[in-house]
Structure 1
Amino acid sequence: MSKLYVVGIGPGGRKNMTIRAVEAIKKCSVIVGYAPYIEYLGDLKKGKEIYSTGMRGEIERCNIAIKKAKEGKDTAIISTGDSGLYGMAGPILELAERIDVEIIPGIVAAFSAASELGAPIMHDYCSISLSDLMTPWDVIEKRIEYASCGDFVITIYNPKSKTRTDHLKKAVDIMLKYKGPKTPVGIVKNSGRADTEKYITTLDDIDYDIVDMMCVLIIGNNNTYIKDGFIITPRGYEI
């Protein structure tokens, strides 16, 4: 019986893919994914039947992958990061019927970026996307408000686009009601990829011009500090 693998390929590039993800892709004769993400597979895509779509083609990709699996072909539909976080795992499970589905986890951008910044996510944290394409902005604002009030470390995905130029500034203004202005902030662009850029700053001194959709931001809690170029959020151990 053929299988549909929903694969998280990590932030980008073979070195941050799990062994399980690589093995699943090798088993498959068909790969489905967002066009730029397919390129991250490198030689793993050689000899495969490839189906790709552009932005906002998520449901189309899911339907293609399900169709190919039903045709008897082992198929991988890929997401960057983890397929269960802003990825394809949810819609595949909602749409799939009478096929064997396996979810393959991957390294999320938040953890990849955290490793490049030091240890900013050592305590309770949450991830919030600022994209309001599928989530109303007033709901996003409430999530930022409650997470900030609860002193969570916050990872921000999709912080800025060509049409959403001021959402991040609005989010920061909410955070500043609860977090100190000198709260450390890490900005990582293209985390886990060859052209990674990282910046360490504070909540009141973010350069919004360097932020785009390829960035994730990690905002510390009220105990987070900077040491020797690393961001550290204490877990509470006696040091």
Structure 2
Amino acid sequence: MSDATSAETSARKCPVIAIDGPAASGKGTLSRRLAAELGLAHLDTGSLYRAVALLLLRAGSDPGDGVAAASEAMTLTPGKVADLSKDPALRNDATAAAASRVSAISAVREALLDFQREFAEQPPALADGTPAKGAVLDGRDIGTVICPDAEAKLFVTASTEVRAQRRLNELQGRGVPAIYENVLEEMKDRDARDSQREVSPLVPAADAFLLDTSALDADQALHAALTFIRTRPAFKDL
């Protein structure tokens, strides 16, 4: 570990779990359950990019416009993100597609870097006012870029076919008409964008625990993650 990394780790008061993985891998559900189980604050970093995308779409701007996207990203505050997270449009397909484009813009990622690191270093209190014991962040580059010194890193994945079926079930559960073949192709396109982009591509951190959830339900995935996390010194007593 470098002197700079050691200094950053010692300066941070709370331990961090970094969770990365592709769409519909189950990392969001897992992250929320880990946070609840261990008393950690949770940040879905993908919601930040969705928030920027939604603001752009509502302003009639092109999600690929780097200047406009970076400008919107710099307006985000914890309160603004909290308000947008309650907006149903944040989770629709149009916003998701726009967010995938927005996340490839280096100026946007740079604008959101401090937001995410500050959350990790000084996690907010839990909903009941209890101080958080640490933080869990999930996204695409948490273990590689945002928190490369996180005490526990996981890369959650599943086969493309399984993830497409999960997304199909989610869409149909919301009453959205969808065809498996179309969802599968969209999943493949998104994976390609996320893994091949020049800025912060989706790749496992070298020291990440690889968790394939293809054949696991939510409880099994949680058990596997907790088994790994509790091998890390910072989390043995949580």
TM above 0.5: no
Q: Which is higher, the Rg of structure 1 or of structure 2?
A: 1
Higher relative contact order (CA 8 A, sep 6+): 2
Structure having the higher strand fraction is: 1
TM-score band, normalised by shorter chain: 0.3 to 0.5
Q: TM-score w.r.t. structure 2 length?
A: 0.33
Structure having the higher helix fraction is: 2
